[in-house]
């Protein structure tokens, strides 16, 4: 198969981006990261991209007339770089239905819980882990899924669980789950790059 051209959207330091870069450079992912876009200006994720000679762009939503125009600019930038797969690696903006339709079943997101638990509107970043600790659940984890028009509602590609121990805090749990994220996000992208993901409604099968 030809190499998949990947575009990564970020909003922060880009540790998940780094895991993707490492797996591309090792040859595990049969693809190339053609573009990194951040909606925030001085984030380390942009520096990570530049260090690996990946084209990196900052697009500020406030520079556009409305949110639709901002998403149109994202689409244009991705198309200009031939992007076939969009990966949301800690990207904290909602995508428009036009964007999602443009890249239907070609947008992958990582979420720091076992969806459908602790997911949807308001559940992002450390807030997820605070909610997990407050609720007293014994297991949490991370989920990689395709993006649809809902919030964290798209078909699930991979999930991995981690035990929530009695002495865990939101911060320690976040660190444990980040380790899982750094494993399963590149794995999902690897499966995509190898053409192994089969979608049937809500269900996904990984071909052997």
Distance CA 204, CA 207 (A): 10
Alpha-carbon distance of 186 to 27, in angstroms, equals 11
Buried b (16+ CB within 10 A) or exposed e, 76-97: ebbeebebbbbbbbbbebebbe
Q: Which of the following is catalytic: 55, 111, 145, 182?
A: 111
Cα–Cα distance measured from residue 77 to residue 71, given in angstroms and rounded to the nearest whole number: 10
The three-class DSSP label of residue 196 is: coil
Q: What does the block give as tokens for 11?
A: 């909003």
Catalytic residue status for 145: no
User: Which residues are known catalytic residues?
Assistant: 111
């Amino acid at each position: 198969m030809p190499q998949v051209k990947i575009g990564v959207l970020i909003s922060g330091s880009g540790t998940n981006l780094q895991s993707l870069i490492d797996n591309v450079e090792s040859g595990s992912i049969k693809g190339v990261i053609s573009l990194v876009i951040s909606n925030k200006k001085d984030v380390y994720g942009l520096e990570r991209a530049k260090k690996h000679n990946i084209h990196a762009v900052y697009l500020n939503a406030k520079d556009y007339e409305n949110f639709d125009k901002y998403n149109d600019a994202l689409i244009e930038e991705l198309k200009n770089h031939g992007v076939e797969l969009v990966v949301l690696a800690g990207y904290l903006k909602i995508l428009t239905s036009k964007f999602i339709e443009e890249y239907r079943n070609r947008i992958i997101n990582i979420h720091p819980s076992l969806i459908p638990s602790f997911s949807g509107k308001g559940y992002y970043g450390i807030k997820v882990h605070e909610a997990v600790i407050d609720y007293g659940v014994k297991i949490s984890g991370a989920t990689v899924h395709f993006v649809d028009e809902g919030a964290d509602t798209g078909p699930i590609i991979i999930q991995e669980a981690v035990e929530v121990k009695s002495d865990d805090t939101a911060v320690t749990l976040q660190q444990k789950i980040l380790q899982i994220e750094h494993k399963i996000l590149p794995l999902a992208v690897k499966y995509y790059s190898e053409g192994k993901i089969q979608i049937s409604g809500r269900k996904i099968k990984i071909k052997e």
